[in-house]
Amino acid sequence: MVSEVTRAQTSVAHRKATDRRQHLLLACLIALLLLAMMVAAGMGAVPVPLGLLAKSAVGLSQLSDDQRTILVAIRLPRILAAALVGSGLSVSGLLFQGLFRNPLADPYVIGSSGGALLGASLGVFLLPAVSIAGFGTTALLAFIGAVGSIVLVYWLASVNGRTPVVALLLAGFAVSTMLSYSSYFLEVLDHDFGQGMHVLSSWLHGTIAQPTWPQLAIVSGMLVLGLIGSAPLARRLNTLALGEEYATHLGISVQQTRIGVIVIGSILTAAAVALGGLISFTGLIIPHILRMILGPDHVRLLPATALAGALFLVIADTAARTIIAPAELPVGVLTAFIGGPFFLYLLRKARREVQL
């Protein structure tokens, strides 16, 4: 009897310790994200010292008009955009990994970014007149493109409810390449639109464009919607890890969960692609690192992934626009350099642990 009581206490203590670790991590991530955004706001051709920024934020000091204009019209939108893109890609990566029961899934790798890109390009080239706030249709078409490509890849790659690594990667690669290059095709068709071409080229390289405030509002709305929608999916994804048949027996509707993940994941991918184009591997790295710290419980991973993704891309984008100033590196190039080797490392590890 004594041992039973002790066991229960150990269990409670252990769980509390895990909860504490999660809360500490979330607090750290919020603090780091705010700090990174402040530092990023100060960096660039016209530096704004961190101290001055902090003082002006609490009303102790005034920024010059130039500094204010640069911050409000250029840097803050860009930084917020990076945060939204990072968050969207990471959370959709987490959801897809849960759905595919495969830690290598990522919106870029499985082709949903490519689908979103093609949808968004259609919006820019063919329907510029019907756009709402210059952006509404683009985001909507990006969403439709993302859903279409995932459904296609899922259908191609799944064997008896499982998606083997090789099948997933090959199907994702093929679909993603086809879709991305279809966007080039649009460019050739429609070379009168100089603006469209510029947008497309920055999307293909994964550059976070200079967004307007209404654009940011739309994407923020999509992100919030996506995060709220992910919450009830997270626990189901834990159960789905046991396999579709077992999850069904335990009362999870696999079909509903699948549709939920595809819709929510596509909203998040579309939001990210509409602002930043093809940014690779972010959705792969961030959930993986957090899984090493917090374990595979999707309920715990969700908020941490959203914050860490934002932090990662704010830092990466700031580095991308300052490393070779005055020129700018597309942030997609940078994440490919960091994420590519990481992806290969995971692939090797997966080959050793799970037979392909």
Neighbouring C-beta atoms of residue 263, cutoff 10 Å: 17
Residue 101: left (phi > 0), alpha (psi -120 to 50), or beta? left
Question: Which ranges constitute the DSSP H helices of 74-205?
Answer: 76-100, 112-126, 136-157, 165-189, 194-205
Q: Which residue, 141 or 252, has its beta carbon nearer to another protein?
A: 252
Specify the residue, 63 or 167, whose C-beta has the smaller distance to another protein: 167
By C-beta, is 74 or 241 nearer to another protein?
241
Binding site for another protein (CB under 8 A): 4, 7-8, 10-11, 14, 101-103, 231-232, 235, 238-239, 241-243, 245-252, 291, 295-297, 299, 354
Helix (H, G, I), strand (E, B) or coil at 252: coil
Least Å distance, CB 8 to another protein, is 6
3-state secondary structure of 13: helix
Q: Is 321 exposed, middle or buried (0-12, 13-18, 19+ CB in 10 A)?
A: buried
Kindly state the smallest distance separating residue 187's Cβ from another protein, in Å.
39
Structure tokens at 105: 């899934």
By the 8 A CB rule, do 343 and 325 touch?
Answer: no
Question: For another protein, which is the closer residue by CB, 134 or 296?
Answer: 296
Sign of CA dihedral 330, 66, 219, 299: positive
Q: Among residues 205 and 235, whose Cβ is nearest to another protein?
A: 235
Is the Cβ of residue 41 or residue 94 nearer to another protein in the bound state? Answer: 94
Shortest spacing between CB 168 and another protein, in angstroms: 12
Shortest distance, CB of residue 251 to another protein, whole angstroms? Answer: 3
* 32 versus 242: smaller Cβ distance to another protein: 242
Cα angle: 208, vertex 338, 93; to 5 degrees: 70
Question: For residue 356, how many C-alpha atoms fall within 13 Å in the half-sphere facing its CB?
Answer: 14
Tokens of 57: 């934020």
**CB of residue 112 to another protein, shortest distance in Å:** 19
Instruction: Tokens 């769980």: give the residue.
Output: 15
Give min distance, CB of 286 to another protein, in A: 16
| DSSP string for 175-229 | HHHHHHHHHHHHHHHTTT-HHHHHHHHHHHHT------HHHHHHHHHHHHHHHHH
Measured from the CB atom, the residue of 128 and 296 that comes closer to another protein is: 296
CB of 354: closest distance to another protein in angstroms?
7
Least distance to another protein, CB of residue 347, Å: 14
Q: How far apart are CA 259 and CA 262, in angstroms?
A: 5
